A and B are shown apart, each in its own frame.
Chain A
């Protein structure tokens, strides 16, 4: 079974600075998806970024980028130019390619605070 580990429960960043959130996972599969989801106080889980394991290039979405290290099974999220609205819980998630509508496996999440 796949597992996702987010070992840092909390992080803080100064507004306009850069922060990196860590995630590691364990799997025996070679093809899969990795995600970062954001959950603000409104509780809505919002997809931030997605990475396909077969792609070597790291995904980027505006101020959000990932550092995907497949051999190390590491998938960190970098937030550049942090904004107050980035304060939220961030979840790393894994999804297998095999099996129709295979489930998402989540980490415990990390609470990010942004200091003005």
Chain B
């Protein structure tokens, strides 16, 4: 039990579909993050939420839409994605005054 749970683990979607990725953390943290992991590239930070407020949007295309209804849950809504959006999407959480981030197992997304 890692404390950060992501669903689904795998997702295949067409370019015209709408889907959502879910992240839930059971650690009492106040910050949550979405990262994109593509092959041969460093992890790219997409969004940061701090106390449910979005504090960073790293120039992410609008076809990715985050939602943070409370400090424990984070969603990533997907629509009209492109094949190059296929990647592993990782969620993480952390607590103020603590440097470590804890990660979920990721959602492997394939856009066809």
Contact = CB atoms under 8 A, between A and B. Distances in A.
A42 B99 contact: no
Interface residues of A, number: 23
A103 B103 contact: no
A35 B100 contact: yes
B105 A43 contact: yes
12 contacts: A33-B99, A35-B99, A43-B105, A43-B106, A46-B103, A47-B100, A101-B31, A101-B94, A103-B48, A105-B42, A108-B42, A109-B42
For the residues of B in contact with A, the DSSP-based class is strand
A52 to B, nearest CB: 8
A107 B40 CA distance: 10
Sort A-B residue pairs by CB-CB distance and give the 8 closest, nearest first.
A45-B103, A101-B31, A106-B43, A33-B99, A106-B42, A43-B106, A44-B105, A108-B42
Nearest to B33: A103
B88 interface: yes
Contacts, number: 54
B45 A95 contact: no
Interface residues of B, number: 27
Contact of B48 (A50, A52, A101, A108): A101
A101 B43 contact: no
A101 B106 CA distance: 21
Contacts of A104: 43, 45, 92, 101
Contacts of B76: none
A56 to B, nearest CB: 18
B92 to A, nearest CB: 8
A105 B33 CA distance: 13
B42 A103 contact: no
Residue in B42, B96, B105 with the greatest tally of chain A CB atoms within 10 Å: B42
B42 A95 contact: no
B88 A43 contact: yes
B77 to A, nearest CB: 22
Interface string A1-29: 00010000000000000000000000000
A100 interface: yes
A19 B42 CA distance: 22
